[in-house]
Amino acid sequence: MIHTTDWQLPTRLLGRRVIVYESTDSTNNRALELSDDAANDGVVILAHEQTAGRGQHGRRWQCGPGDGVLLSVLLFPPAELRRPVLLAAWAAVAVCSTIGEITGLESRIKWPNDVLVQERKVCGVLIEQGKAVVAGIGLNVNQAPANFADAGLPEAGSLASLAGRNFDVYQVATKLIEHLDSAYALLLTGRASEVEAMWRQSLSLLGRDTEVASTDGTWRGRLRGISFESLELEVYAGSVLQLIPERVRQIRAV
């Protein structure tokens, strides 16, 4: 079902105002335009279709009209929450909770901010920071496997392709906004450790042998600790390397 008018949710902050576009270039652009005014804190932009959706590393985000959730949240967080790793974790954790609640499917976070179901990427997050923070989330909902093959994205998936049934995109969007709102409230009220615990669990990397690529080099070892402050990688028995999460580009289980 397409809702082309703006709506409100009875949330704490996020989604108290939801602005809906039938078609726009990028929901992140619409949110960035509102970033001069802190009264827009928590505004959500939703689009049925994007004509120039942005992905990470300058890539495009492709999603057919009405096939997925295309959403951006505008936030004015306090300085201590303006950390890419924390914001990516917040968004990805909310996505995992939404997927679990709507479909019953298990999902995992692929570092730093993709969400996979059965090893297929169903969601990507693009955080852009300026005067405010814009968190853009693309969640594939009703695409058929052929859509991804045609788009040259064989490793992508949608909730429908993995669950075997279609979902109401706007119901999924509503649930996602609610989970984003609850997790953001945890961050704002000094309960970031609860988000951190969900993130650690959804990364499924603790205690595993991994290859970690950071801006300072690539190492192999067993991940002994994962927190917003540091990753602890045991490179030799008893020798633990502390890595700053913001510098870590990729983590692969080996």
Q: Which is nearer to ligand BTN, 49 or 246 (CB)?
A: 49
Do strands 44-50 and 68-75 pair parallel, antiparallel, or not at all (unpaired)? antiparallel
Preceding peptide of 112 cis, ω within 30°: yes
| Closest among 186, 164, 185, 183 to 175, alpha carbons compared | 183
Q: Which is nearer to ligand BTN, 172 or 241 (CB)?
A: 172
Q: Which is nearer to ligand BTN, 42 or 138 (CB)?
A: 138
CB of 113 to ligand BTN, least distance (A): 7
CB of 241 to ligand BTN, least distance (A): 28
Measure Cα distances from 118 to 121, 125, 146, 155, 161 in Å: 8, 18, 17, 10, 11
Closest residue to ligand BTN, based on beta-carbon distance: 124
CB of 232 to ligand BTN, least distance (A): 27
Contact footprint for ligand BTN (CB under 6 A): 26-28, 50, 53-56, 59, 61, 70-72, 114, 124-126, 136-138
CB of 108 to ligand BTN, least distance (A): 15
Q: Which is nearer to ligand BTN, 126 or 233 (CB)?
A: 126
Q: Which is nearer to ligand BTN, 193 or 250 (CB)?
A: 250
How far apart are the C-alpha atoms of 123 and 109, rounded to whole Å? 9
Are residues 210 and 241 in contact, defined by beta-carbon separation less than 8 angstroms? no
| Closest among 187, 214, 209 to 198, alpha carbons compared | 187
| Closest among 176, 160, 135, 178 to 64, alpha carbons compared | 160
CB of 242 to ligand BTN, least distance (A): 28
